[in-house]
Amino acid sequence: MGWALTKDWLEKLDFIFKQDYYQHLLEFLEYESAHNKIIYPPKDQIFNAFDLSSFENTKVIILGQDPYHNQGQAHGLSFSVPDGVDIPPSLRNIYQELSSDLNINPSQSGNLTRWASQGVLLLNSALTVEKNSPGSHAKSGWVDFTDTVIDILNEQKQNLVFLLWGAHAGQKIELIDQNKHLVLTASHPSPFSAHKGFFGCKHFSKTNDYLKMHNLQTIDWKP
């Protein structure tokens, strides 16, 4: 079951939904819900990243670890929160780097839908999490699922930009052919690590420079 995946992603990923591990993942989520576990994001938002950035349009991938685990925050896009929700610390630091790099004033909203609609796939390694329990689904079948997504993007597209922030995301570099794509790594934008290399990384301008060099539409990074 792919829930509400867009047509071109559904065609690319349809074989996954027939895999045993994916069926076990569905059973796990159903079991958790049946035992009164609150899962984020809401079921109809789990695949938002794919709905908003089709396979054809995707040109930048920002990889997060797992969804926000507090009520009302997660809506299927890595690092993003819905309008009206307080901006989380990591996203505040992303906005700070954006301001330093491209002189874009920090937004009052943490909703990154505008990025997604331009072809920025805001992908978490795990697409669900239990309320108030960070990393709780990190060892579920989601990791196999999202690794396969990265494999497909790597194999079937050219000149993508992968932004890998933090040690967890950085491990995915092994899945990416750097002769075909640009991989930019930095420390995680969390307040615990942003000063170790995220601030000053200039990933937003570097992304646009690469896209422009390959005659691709640049990203308007204003949230």
Annotated catalytic residue: which of 8, 44, 51, 66? 66
Phi/psi at 177 (5° precision):
-85, 105
What is the C-alpha separation between 34 and 98, in angstroms, rounded?
Answer: 42
What is the C-alpha separation between 173 and 178, in angstroms, rounded?
Answer: 9
What is the C-alpha separation between 109 and 87, in angstroms, rounded?
Answer: 7
Active-site residue flag, 66: yes
DSSP string, 26-84: HHHHHHHHHTT--EES-GGGTTHHHHHS-TTT--EEEEESS---STTT-SSSTT---TT
- Separation in Å, CA 212 to CA 72, 103, 206: 37, 19, 10
Phi/psi at 133 (5° precision):
-140, 75
What is the C-alpha separation between 221 and 153, in angstroms, rounded?
Answer: 22
Q: Which of 101, 126, 121 is nearest to 57 (CA)?
A: 121
Task: Name every residue whose Cβ is closer than 8 Å to that of residue 105 and which is 6 or more positions away in sequence.
Answer: 99
Q: Which residues are catalytic?
A: 66
